[in-house]
Chain A
Amino acid sequence: MKPSTKKNSQFFIESWLTSRTAQIKSAPRIPGQDFEHSLFFVPRRTPLCDRILEDEGVFGDVTINEYPLYFIPLEPDVLSLELDDAFEDLYLHKTYTSIFNSAKALMLLQQQYGLFPRITGKGDKGKRLMDALMRMRNEAAAEDASTSMALAPSSIIDNLIIIDRETDLVTPLLTQLTYEGLIDETFGLNNSHVELEASLLGSAGQTPADSTGRSVGVPAAPQAKKRKVLLEGSDRVFSELRNVNFSAVPAILKKTALRIDADFKKKDDCKTVSEMKTYVTKVLGPAQKDRTSLSMHFNIAEVIQKHINTELFEKTLEVQQSLIAGYSSTQQHELLTELIARGASLETVLRLLCLYSCVNTGFKPKDFDLFRREILQGYGYEHVLTLAALEKVALFQSRTVAGSASTAASRTNYDYLRNRLKLFNENINESEPNDIVYVYSVYAPLSVRLVQCVIQKSEMVLAAKGEKTLGPNSAGWKGFEDVVKHVGGKTFDELQKAPQNMLTAKMILDGQNEKKVTVVFFLGGITYTEIAALRWIAQKEGERRQIIIATTGIINGNKIIHAATADAQTKPTPH
């Protein structure tokens, strides 16, 4: 937010909460009464906003509006609130602003498509979200007669599954191994944009990348000019690559290159002018676009390949996979101390330590002390704050705390679940996967397994042998109650019913829909690997079911660690 020289300057401000007040303060402090300032609160204006502006003494100088921005469709099947600080808010500060905003956003969906007939979910914060949703529904019912029709159970949407990030913190801590996930791990993806060095953008000098046409080039030192590139499904090359395991990427790149080449060669088949015309409009344009995109992805894949070939990366992966497999831990201790001594990045090390703590129910007190000392000496004593934050989020704990009876209910027992839900599987064909395990090469995200427990019961029963078969009509957690018990946090499964006549009326209005829609809401963020896994399931379900992914934002292990290190990064304020 910079002062503009225009007569009308406009600010978009998130009204989420207090951390934004600083922005609100700085915004109107632009000198010159000649300017006309407009404030847009996103997503809503509350009395609090007015109060803060009043306290700052600028209330009268600005025109105030609100911009109700809730879900942003990142892709046709992904709705995100893009709340960058949802994780901190939910698990570190526990202010729960994101729960309210998520509930609001889900209410908007309900007002559009009808009530979710069934809400199934897991996790303490997820329960809070469902309660908020129920409350809002009751309030909306009391609100206005005209909305009552819309608030009958939906005939389009089958159910809503709420997964609280807290129930499965292991998944984001692991290094994502899909193509998109690795882009996120290596370069960092923010709001579907990746910042790349200009040299990576491909042979065509101009970028087709930023489709919105805004100039987002960051003015930096000329040798390392960076460009923001939007990565999304309308890019054909990328949409083929994004969800596959990285080991399958080279083959696909090669195949695409051949296809594009064939497309270009089609011009030789053209005999007449009209054929030429069709060729130019139908084939040539997309092929040229694909070629530009392809050369960029070749470059990106090359950088990633270099990155994963490093010894550090290999060691990191080794530790991760043996922890996930549940192998003995002395060797991992060695590797961890070595990584610290070798100056591996703080994120890498902390992710591994947290992973260790989550999988093994905390550290032995002796090891706990040892690793704390290692971190503090290796990365600075200010990380006392980081460690405190991680402890608060229950990511990095001593076994005395983690293993105590009081926290047992909120802990996820990986040892038990590993077998029951087949979380670990080494024998997987990464190019033609037959299970979601492929997204981490050897590990199936627990969060997605939970979703499978709700919507793919028969497959899951097969996976966990010895289970009695379930009727096709069983819904919710049925059949997996004992499994779910070993996952941390509260379990819930609610029906939203309506009078029968209303239901039939609604059905007539909307028409009977054969393809059922499941909305999966990830509270606290989702990783690209989980998105890939859910898409894989949706593809398997085919005509039976459509999965819409909704979330507070896209997350990865580094973002979680950054949330915890924020305090330690306090810098002296320049005077």
Chain B
Amino acid sequence: MPASPSQPHSTPARSSDVGRRRPPLALVDVKIRPTLFGAQHIRRSCKRGAWRASPVSASARTFTDSILESTPAPPTMASGLPNPTSTWELVSGQYYRKLTLFTPSWAHEEDLNLDDYLVAGAPFGGALALWKDPRKFHTYQGVQSAKPSITICNLAGGLLRRITWDRGPIQAIGWSDDEHLLVVTADGSVRCYYDFQGNFTQFSLGSDAEEHGVVSCRFWGTGFVALLGNNAFVTVNRYDEPRPRPLALPKLPSPESKIHSWAIIPPNYSDSRHVEVIMATDQTILIVDATESQDQILQNGPFHHISVSPNGSYVALYTGDGKVWVIDVKFQQKLSEYDSGKTGEIPIDVQWCGVDSVVLVWEDEVHMVGPNGAALRWYYDNRVNLVPEMDGIRMITTEKCEFLQRVPDVTRSIFEFGSSSPPAGLLEAVGHLERKSPKADDAIQLIRPSLPEAVAACVQAAGHEFDVGWQKQLLKAASFGKSVLELYNSDDFVEMCKTLRVLNAVRYYEVGLGITMDQLERLTPDKLIERLVARQEHLLALRISDYLSLPTDKIYIHWACMKVKLSVDDEDAICKDIVEKLKNERGIAYDAIAKAAFEEGRGRLATQLLNHEPRAGRQVPLLMSMEEDEIALDKAIESTDSDLVFYVLLHLKKKLPVATFFRMINNRPVAYSLIESSARYHDTELLKDLYYQDDRKTDGANVILRESLSQENFTTRIDKLKLASKLLKDSKDHLVEASALEESIRLLTLQESLERDIFEESFVGLPLNETIFKLTRLGFYPRANKIRAEFKMPDKRFWWIKLRGLVAKREWAEIEEWSKSKSSPIGWEPFFNECLSAGNTKVAAIFIPKCKNLNHTERINMWVQCGMIVKAGEEAVTARDYHALEALLPKATGAAVPEIQRMMQKLRPSK
């Protein structure tokens, strides 16, 4: 890959929204800050040229070496570092530290005063959105800036995007965990800006919101709740497919009651697993979820602020008399109380800092209430904006961006004044070592028993450190400690080194992500990469992905999309460029890039790119929107995904005239079958047209036949049958069916008249055989005969049916009468069998002598089945079968016994 510095990040930001041109996106030609060694290391390899540097060795040994080599440590490093405890303050036994993450360079707007702005910050050290506070007066700055706009910038103040706002008044701005910006207007329309390019999706909160207006919103990681002018709440759970749903109406104590303040418990922390709203009205608090509104029956209101802790377990309430209450979320127990002493002024914001302290802000005064109601106070020159995080809180002012958090326990155990904990000892030992003092060994021997824990603690503490110098010092301590240990698993150490390199790289001021280690763990590295990609930091994202062995395909795709959108080169060059660069990468979704090109109006480029997509199915949606219908259909068929084929077909059916549509599917068997089988149930008219067009008369007739079956009206049914029969006749090769249908018309008419004559019996629709059977069973023999003659039923079949009918009617007399006829086309055996299985042995026996074609053994057996042993015996005698008689003897009972014996006697002599 070429190493030219202008590639691939040469895409300039669009001029329309830039006050000052951002430095090129590439990190390549950025000046390197010596303090940020992690970033520097990664960057340096960029500078060496290769776009994809050789992977950094992951082994512990080489890695620490590389750290230690990259900036040779001065001999008195520890003493040269600022004391970490200088930022610590003690509140009732707990230390808190306030770190300055960045000094924002609001430079691109000379006289920017953050006081004039409302600020919303994305979680996990993400971007800030600033927009002018509509309730304040602003100095007139010319026509250009009179247009309202939203400024998105990173924590270091670097501009990411300015969105010119062209809709109604903004009522709320918030962020999702994916760093999507959400802007809610007063009339309930919501825009979700899913990248920093100004692209957005839009949806409405519904008619209620339109009618009553949105008052305020509260956001959580994946959704938000809006309070409407009619005191109703609407919630949206996800942004990819937003479905605004109302919550239960809050049961306000009286119609005049006002909602003083409200907050939400996100779904993942609530008992119901759905979002819940906590709202203050009159003297009390209501909890509202999707089904009901519950009064907590408090008397100490009105509460002007409600804030729920990041883990959803506690609630901070700010009362009317200037007190802060911390209550568990079940409203069972008051955990602490703090009197701010400010009865008159209500704070502008109350937020949690981690899970054990609450921060209150009055314009320029900040109180932080610790666990036991003790507090810290700070005074600022400007207004302070709060952005709560899971493990602390960000405080943003015009001057700086600070992070306030409780000092992590490991850090405290190391740095607390006078600490004698093992890790503190280890740190001391490494200090001695650097000074080449022999005390190093003494120090390490002192903590020898708990050395493994000390090493682990130093590794952990390094992760919590923002200062690179201290990170290194702590890692060095850990490294020293583990070198003394005989057995040590270096995985944690290596992992931490990697994490720190990544953290330092993204904390670099140009990237401006103020993320802590714990936050990164919660966010996951994949999401971090997504954030970098959204900031167009493709190269850094790529480096980190390679370094952490994460998939890189999305980064390449995003880069290519950006290239397609922003490059001013001619289309062939762009295509060549992209293909050249991505040819060795797997899993590149060219369809996504092509889509971007198409949306940019570069149709030819889109087609070119699409040809590189190996997955046929993926090409289809874009081809459809490019109106390449035939190709889309072919590609869909190629993918063998019949759902996809049908999707294209549905689209085409709506779009094209029927004849064109038919032509299109005619030579594509799969498409044809799909249309055929779906039309079978939903669109018979289309099916008929299709068959007519193709001259498939038989199939056409079958459609009509099916229609006739679903027809209740008798006349229509007959008409349809006639039509079907005619079509079949025309097609010539189905004459049997054609005449059968004519027959069926005759039968139906006949059956209808039968129904008129014979009440309470239904005949219509029965098969011919069934009709005759039923008539026989009901005793209408002449009618049965007549129909039989009319339909020329073969004798055999008729005899069978009549026999079954008579047996079913148990009409034995008739059967006996019938048996007198000379011969039966089906023989007499069936008569015997049917009567026997109906249980009438007497009648069955009549037929035994008539079965002349059977041999005597079978006949003997028949007699036995009828229970007539003597008769069986006689049969045996006639056949002179002595053995059969012998076999009969045990079966005989009563009078039959001597009879059989007599017969045996009679036969024996002849033997």
Contacts and interface: CB of A to CB of B under 8 A. Distances in A.
A48 interface: yes
A100 B702 contact: no
Interface in A298-350: 311, 337-338, 340-343
A341 B830 CA distance: 12
B241 A343 contact: no
A18 B678 contact: yes
Given A97-B643, A142-B615, A343-B769, A385 B677 contact: no
A151 B181 CA distance: 40
From DSSP, what is the main secondary structure of chain B's interface residues?
Answer: helix
Contact of A19 (B681, B705, B768): B681
Given A142-B586, A144-B553, A382-B709, A96 B640 contact: yes
Nearest to A131: B640
A131 B711 CA distance: 44
Contacts of A95: 642, 670, 673-674, 677
A387 interface: yes
Contacts, number: 176
A295 interface: no
B801 A380 contact: no
A138 B698 contact: no
Given A48-B647, A572-B712, A387 B737 contact: yes
Nearest to A49: B643
A60 B791 CA distance: 59
B804 A343 contact: yes
Given A17-B643, A47-B621, A572-B711, 13 more contacts: A36-B245, A46-B641, A48-B643, A95-B670, A143-B587, A340-B797, A341-B801, A342-B800, A373-B740, A377-B740, A377-B768, A378-B769, A388-B699
Name the 8 nearest CB pairs between A and B, nearest first: A381-B744, A341-B800, A18-B678, A93-B677, A341-B797, A380-B767, A377-B768, A46-B643
Interface in A373-398: 373-374, 376-382, 384-385, 387-388
Interface in B692-740: 698-699, 702, 705-706, 709-712, 736-737, 740
Interface in B623-672: 638-644, 646-647, 650, 669-670
Given A337-B797, A338-B800, A381-B744, A21 B586 contact: no
Nearest to A99: B640
Interface string A88-128: 00000111110110010000000000000000000000001
A437 to B, nearest CB: 31
A146 B551 contact: yes
B614 interface: yes
A128 B637 CA distance: 12
Contact of A567 (B706, B766, B800): B706
A93 B675 CA distance: 10
Nearest to B245: A36
Contacts of A19: 677-678, 681
A388 B291 CA distance: 56
A18 B768 contact: no
A135 interface: yes
B676 interface: yes
Nearest to B642: A97
Interface size class of B (residues with CB under 8 A): 35 or more
Contacts of B650: 48, 51
19 contacts: A15-B643, A17-B642, A18-B681, A22-B682, A60-B243, A63-B243, A95-B673, A135-B639, A143-B586, A144-B551, A144-B586, A311-B833, A338-B796, A377-B740, A379-B767, A384-B702, A384-B705, A388-B699, A573-B710
B839 interface: no
Contacts of A337: 794, 796-797
B747 interface: yes
B769 A377 contact: yes
A215 interface: no
Interface residues of A, number: 67
A15 B642 CA distance: 11
B168 interface: no
A514 interface: no
A46 B650 CA distance: 13
Contacts of B553: 144-145
Contact of A93 (B245, B676, B698, B737): B676
A385 B706 contact: yes
A432 interface: no
A376 B710 contact: no
Interface in A357-375: 369, 372-374
Contact of A384 (B640, B712, B737, B769): B737
A172 B68 CA distance: 75
A99 B706 CA distance: 28
A374 B769 CA distance: 9
A148 interface: yes
Interface in B784-833: 791, 793-794, 796-797, 800-801, 804, 826, 833
A376 to B, nearest CB: 5
A571 interface: yes
Contacts of A142: 586-587, 614-615
B82 interface: no
A369 B702 contact: no
Contacts of B241: 64
B705 A382 contact: yes
A96 B642 contact: yes
B765 interface: yes
Interface in B429-480: none
A27 B747 CA distance: 41
Most buried by B among A100, A128, A311, A573: A100
B793 A377 contact: yes
A7 interface: yes
Contact of B804 (A96, A311, A342): A342
A257 interface: no
A369 B736 contact: yes
Contacts of B681: 18-19, 22
A144 B614 CA distance: 13
A96 B670 contact: yes
Contacts of A21: 678, 682
Contact of A46 (B647, B699, B744): B647
A378 B681 CA distance: 27
Contacts of B800: 338, 341-342
B689 interface: no
B706 A381 contact: no
Interface in A57-83: 60, 63-64
Given A48-B644, A103-B640, A378 B768 contact: yes
Contacts of B551: 144-146
A336 to B, nearest CB: 12
A139 B615 contact: yes
Interface in A457-510: none
B773 interface: yes
A161 B680 CA distance: 34
Interface in B234-251: 241, 243, 245
Contact of B614 (A36, A128, A138, A376): A138
B854 to A, nearest CB: 15
B495 interface: no
Interface string B561-592: 00000000000000000000000001100000
B768 A384 contact: no
Contacts of B676: 93
B506 interface: no
A100 B705 contact: no
A132 B642 contact: no
A568 interface: yes
A178 B793 CA distance: 39
B396 to A, nearest CB: 37
A5 interface: no
Contacts of B640: 96, 99-100, 103, 128, 131-132, 135
Interface string B202-240: 000000000000000000000000000000000000000
A494 B764 CA distance: 57
A158 B698 CA distance: 48
